[in-house]
Amino acid sequence: MYTEPNNVILFPKWKKTLEEESLYALQEKRYEEALQKLNKLLSFQVDNYEIIIAKLMCLMELARYEEAQSLCETLIEHKDENYYHYVHMYLTILFQTNQYEVLMEHAASELANKQLPEIFREQFTQLYDISKKMKVDIMIEKSVLLQDELTVAIEQEDHQEQWRIMENLRRMNARANDEIAALLVNKAIHPVIKTAIVYLLKDNHVAESVAVQKFDINTDVIPIEAVEITESAAFNEILFLVKDIEFENPTLYAVIKQILQHYLFVLYPIAPHQEVAYPIAEALKLIGMEYLNIHIESHENLEPTVLHYVDEIKMCETLYMSIIEE
């Protein structure tokens, strides 16, 4: 904040006149004029509570919210006798600028203080509750818009845009509507997008059975009960079968593990049965070695089941990489 040089004196009569004129201009809603006079007073370090609050009111009326917020943040760093008044102004600015998350976080911190005066507790609680409702309303509105965008992206067969929308819906913890759940049996929907839908339903704690169709397999799943990929029996059984590689060739093991995760992600919530864990593990070894240019024998002598999973895993890897960039 600019201050006049020490050799410039503000005489009491001039100080009183500036104070009266600034407050009168504020009362008359001449905010620019009032602000100029208030800044003049502040430059002479006339920074009492009334002058500071008047300046904050002018800034807010002039929609100069960033300046008002910055001033409040400076004021509340110093816990003087007017601290809670400044906090109330700060929360009000946050509310008017739709910064509900920041408001709720700061209000919650103040409300946790047992020494908070009751009058401010009521005000902060009210601002917190209103902000919470406004945040929910905004999230619902954004969720509806995103779900409309998803419909358009499906019509345009834009898989990457579908993935972006699904990720945003999950970040918002949005509620999936019935139309989104119905996409799980739509053969035109990319399997990776179906995985994202299952995860959204899981995030929503959906406890009802939903139908899923992937790769000509039809099943029913209760999303909240769907096991995480890395916790599934298939994942852990297959990794166990290639565990020796972790010590012999850590790089190859890391590649195998990543490809396995991609494969199961594309299949999710469908998982391979444990009895096919061995041919899948063998197929993963071959693919991993191929990716790292490690010499392998001809595929001619391989079991048909292993060859089947080599093709299936490669297909799933292609599907995964077509949507998700790592």
| Whether the predicted pLDDT of 9 surpasses 70 | no
| Whether the predicted pLDDT of 266 surpasses 80 | yes
In this structure, the answer to whether residues 285 and 217 fall within a common structural domain is: no
Q: How wide is the angle at C-alpha 273 spanned by C-alphas 301 and 280, nearest 5°?
A: 30
Number of structural domains the chain divides into: 3
Identify whether the C-beta of residue 42 lies closer than 8 Å to the C-beta of residue 55: yes
Number of other residues whose CB lies within 10 A of the CB of residue 80: 10
Average pLDDT over residues 293-299: 74
Block residue for tokens 């059975």: 209
The pair of structure tokens assigned to 84 is 């809670």
Q: Is residue 204 part of a domain?
A: yes
**Which pLDDT score is estimated for 15?**
78
Q: Is residue 23 part of a domain?
A: yes
In this structure, the answer to whether residues 37 and 118 fall within a common structural domain is: yes
Length of the chain: 326
**Which pLDDT score is estimated for 4?**
46
Identify whether the C-beta of residue 72 lies closer than 8 Å to the C-beta of residue 93: yes
**What sign results for the dihedral spanned by CA atoms 5, 11, 16, 18?**
negative
Phi, psi at 213, each rounded to 5°: -125, 125
Q: How wide is the angle at C-alpha 137 spanned by C-alphas 135 and 139, nearest 5°?
A: 70
Q: What domain range is 303 assigned to?
A: 229-323
Q: Is residue 99 part of a domain?
A: yes
In this structure, the answer to whether residues 234 and 300 fall within a common structural domain is: yes
Per the DSSP assignment, residues forming a β-bridge with 212 are: 219
**Which pLDDT score is estimated for 5?**
46
Query: pLDDT for 111-133, tens place per residue?
Result: 999 999 999 999 999 999 999 99
**Which pLDDT score is estimated for 7?**
47
Per the DSSP assignment, residues forming a β-bridge with 217 are: 214
In this structure, the answer to whether residues 106 and 215 fall within a common structural domain is: no
For a pLDDT cut of 70, what percent of the chain falls above it? Answer: 94
**Which pLDDT score is estimated for 19?**
83
- Longest Cα–Cα distance in the chain: 104
Task: Using alpha carbons, select from 313, 211, 226 the residue that is nearest to residue 264.
Answer: 313
Number of other residues whose CB lies within 10 A of the CB of residue 254: 13
For a pLDDT cut of 90, what percent of the chain falls above it? Answer: 76
Q: Is residue 141 part of a domain?
A: no
**Which pLDDT score is estimated for 11?**
56
Query: pLDDT for 146-173, tens place per residue?
Result: 999 999 999 999 999 999 999 999 988 8
User: How many whole angstroms separate alpha carbon 28 and alpha carbon 202?
Assistant: 57
Average pLDDT over residues 2-27: 71
Identify whether the C-beta of residue 148 lies closer than 8 Å to the C-beta of residue 311: no
In this structure, the answer to whether residues 114 and 76 fall within a common structural domain is: yes
In this structure, the answer to whether residues 212 and 233 fall within a common structural domain is: no
Per the DSSP assignment, residues forming a β-bridge with 218 are: 213
Q: How confident is the model at residue 298 (pLDDT cuts 50, 70, 90)?
A: low
Q: Is residue 273 part of a domain?
A: yes
List the single range of 9-18, 88-97, 236-245 with lowest mean pLDDT. Answer: 9-18
